[in-house]
Structure 1
């Protein structure tokens, strides 16, 4: 069950170049069609061209902003097409005057996997195209591969599944099957309290058995909580196993119409050093 259609978020920055190359590598691996998407929206409060608050009478500033944003979208498209031409691969391109997460969710309807940058990377770009992958994870209905800055490729040979018996984690395991089936080593791990260790061992073993029915050879483990957060332990476990992909459910809830993420998801989005496939 490969990913026949991939979508990659593009901005006019160097991190996008690496992310596009990673998406090309994945498209070749899975025999997939590739779509690039860029979007930006005029901020009603802050001028995109000056970075300053808009004056009361800002009609002229809006016109300048619109021209500036359109130039940024053209530059992002030029980056994408230049790399695609060098790769000798064909691809589809979309750009919109819209919030990036909204545009990605729109085009995700024809995609099987979204490739996006980390949350920390999003804040480095111009405010008119600010992007938070959390919005896409929560709204797109598709798995999102969150890529750390500057990573042009990854093998996916060693994968860690961060398990928690929730709907989101179950969804993530199924969404990640193409990666898991191609991996050489898959570890299913749950971090838990000592009194819950027997149940955690039973559940991770059951997940490993489930994966074997899909042709995935997986090991299972339950690890007691130690010093540090669960996310830090998950990242350390991945590093100890030389994994370059973490699969996990993304957890959040609405409060005043904003998505507030749990600690594990928050850390993975902000500073995980390896790729993360997250599903909600």
Structure 2
């Protein structure tokens, strides 16, 4: 099997540094280009339509700013890992559903590397591995939190 491009999902979970290291190692081993993907969908704010409805715009603007900051941080972590490993990398991050975003960008790759479905993580911040595996049409490698070589 030959891979020419791989996707790694970048988030701010504790297992992400190990995932980036493994993704860079696989990209280097196959001579593949590594594509970093990250997304975060705006969470639906819980607001009382009669009391706090007037603040809804401010809440949504604050969430948008937080999401953009999160994506910039993820991009920086990806760029740092790619440069340290000496592999070719591209970045694709956007505000939106992480699963749909990963599926859309997976069209440009041979396989995706994602983390396990962590119970505590919000569905707004990481793709659901089972959904990816069933809908991707490509291999989806689900890495454990502490991969052992």
Query: TM (normalized to structure 2)?
Result: 0.88
- For 2:135 and 2:47, how far apart are their aligned partners in 1? 30
Report matched runs for 1:83-122 at 5 Å: 83-120=81-118
Q: Match of 1:33?
A: 33
Pick 1 or 2: higher relative contact order, CA cutoff 8 A, min separation 6. 2
Once the 2 structures are TM-superposed, how far is the Cα of residue 127 of structure 1 from its aligned partner?
5.1
Once the 2 structures are TM-superposed, how far is the Cα of residue 82 of structure 1 from its aligned partner?
1.3
Once the 2 structures are TM-superposed, how far is the Cα of residue 78 of structure 1 from its aligned partner?
1.1
Larger Rg: 1
1:61 equivalenced with 2:59 (yes/no): yes
CA distance 1:141–1:102, change in 2 (3 Å): same
| 8 Å contact from structure 2 (residues 98, 124) kept in 1 | no
| 8 Å contact from structure 2 (residues 24, 81) kept in 1 | no
1:74 is paired with a residue whose SS is helix
- For 1:3 and 1:40, how far apart are their aligned partners in 2? 27
Once the 2 structures are TM-superposed, how far is the Cα of residue 97 of structure 1 from its aligned partner?
1.1
The runs of 4+ residues in structure 1 deviating greater than 6 Å are none
CA distance 1:101–1:74, change in 2 (3 Å): same
Once the 2 structures are TM-superposed, how far is the Cα of residue 134 of structure 1 from its aligned partner?
1.1
| 8 Å contact from structure 2 (residues 25, 85) kept in 1 | no
- For 2:99 and 2:128, how far apart are their aligned partners in 1? 7
Q: C-alpha root-mean-square deviation of aligned residues, in Å?
A: 1.6
Name the count of aligned residue pairs: 144
2:71 to 64, 70, 73: 73
| 8 Å contact from structure 1 (residues 12, 79) kept in 2 | no
Q: Match of 1:134?
A: 130
1:101 is paired with a residue whose SS is helix
